[in-house]
Structure 1
């Protein structure tokens, strides 16, 4: 049986300050994290925060562009207070809206569903990525509508585990916190 261990990257200043992410580093880099063991493959999103989290796990993970965070376009680095509230509301209620000029939610849902479809006979795979990618994987697994995207909370340094194969994934668990190694 295939198992995908989707690890949410560690916290960043953008998360702490309610800003849209840019390619910022982790706000606190753990020396080492204890993650899932006996893995057959390791992948990560291209962002610095994903690289640093993979490094803390001791993973030499391959960058997979399909695991990139939702592109927030012109909103990158800006706080919620700096965004036109009408545009923000449109973006959060219409999965096809992209008032920021970046990627609409529907596009990340499609991209991640396609990535899941390519995960046949992979064994046990560890992945470090963003909350948006993990949300999209959960929605694809459950066959949930795009409107449910904002109803899935993914915290930093947690693991969501999917089991199964192409077209038959199951959410085994979500929100399992990672621990610092030796702690």
Structure 2
């Protein structure tokens, strides 16, 4: 059984537009409107397994997209540690070297937070666990599994750093490339898993 995974970055929050690090912010009216408007452009199958980050902005985005989703801790945003909720401009003034390192070095982390390299490992474990679940479900009938043409589809509403990390894991790239991957709010990234492993596909949108 092959797996098709559609990763969607949540709509922008007021805190993001104000240049603040996330702090479990909900969507405001503008964010909800943008998510609702994107609903007709995102090709999200109704019969997919739907997951979301536990963050309010991700859950709000799922609701605005008309999706009933199950929260998964592995899809939580990167941990910003002591920078959580603070203005990017203030951090640039107070800790310019630490901020500069965090933006381009995969092993650098905010004080008390999570590095991008750690995030790649976290989302990689979740991605591989999804495929492990598929294999275990088919182990009872291995012959049927070998000839099956059935595809499993998963939708995950999460955060832009998670989409970056999933791409890095899927293509087996070094985490140092993360700063060269740009993901906008309400972007769609498609990954597929087959016998050759995870691959990154052009996102299909209507």
2:69 maps to 1:61: yes
Q: CA deviation at 1:166?
A: 7.8
How many equivalent residue pairs? 177
Could you tell which deviates more after superposition, 69-78 or 25-34?
25-34
State the 4+ residue runs in structure 1 displaced beyond 4 angstroms: none
For residues 55 and 73 of structure 1, what CA distance do their matches in structure 2 show? 28
Q: CA deviation at 1:119?
A: 1.8
Equivalent position of 2:13 in the other structure:
12
Equivalent position of 1:119 in the other structure:
130
Question: Do the aligned partners of residues 99 and 50 (structure 1) sit closer, same or farther apart at CA in structure 2, a change above 3 Å counting?
Answer: closer
Structure with a larger share of its residues in strand:
1
Question: Do the aligned partners of residues 151 and 165 (structure 1) sit closer, same or farther apart at CA in structure 2, a change above 3 Å counting?
Answer: same
For residues 100 and 21 of structure 1, what CA distance do their matches in structure 2 show? 15
1:31-87 CA deviation, whole Å, 9 max, x = no partner? 732341243301010100000010011111100000010000111111221111111
Could you tell which deviates more after superposition, 91-100 or 132-141?
91-100
Out of 129, 150, 158, which is 1:129 matched to? 158
Out of 77, 94, 97, which is 2:108 matched to? 97
Contact 1:162 1:172 in 2 (8 A): yes
Question: Do the aligned partners of residues 167 and 85 (structure 1) sit closer, same or farther apart at CA in structure 2, a change above 3 Å counting?
Answer: farther
1:69-107 CA deviation, whole Å, 9 max, x = no partner? 000011111122111111101222332222421111111
Question: Do the aligned partners of residues 166 and 153 (structure 1) sit closer, same or farther apart at CA in structure 2, a change above 3 Å counting?
Answer: farther
Contact 1:92 1:150 in 2 (8 A): yes
Secondary structure of 1:124's partner?
strand
For residues 177 and 9 of structure 1, what CA distance do their matches in structure 2 show? 16
Secondary structure of 1:119's partner?
helix
Question: Do the aligned partners of residues 37 and 177 (structure 1) sit closer, same or farther apart at CA in structure 2, a change above 3 Å counting?
Answer: closer
Equivalent position of 2:143 in the other structure:
none
Equivalent position of 2:174 in the other structure:
145
TM-score between both structures, scaled by the size of structure 1:
0.88
Equivalent position of 2:97 in the other structure:
86
For residues 80 and 37 of structure 1, what CA distance do their matches in structure 2 show? 37
List aligned pairs for 1:68-83, cutoff 5 A. 68-83=76-91
List aligned pairs for 1:43-54, cutoff 5 A. 43-54=51-62
For residues 9 and 202 of structure 2, what CA distance do their matches in structure 1 show? 13
2:45 maps to 1:37: yes
Secondary structure of 1:162's partner?
strand
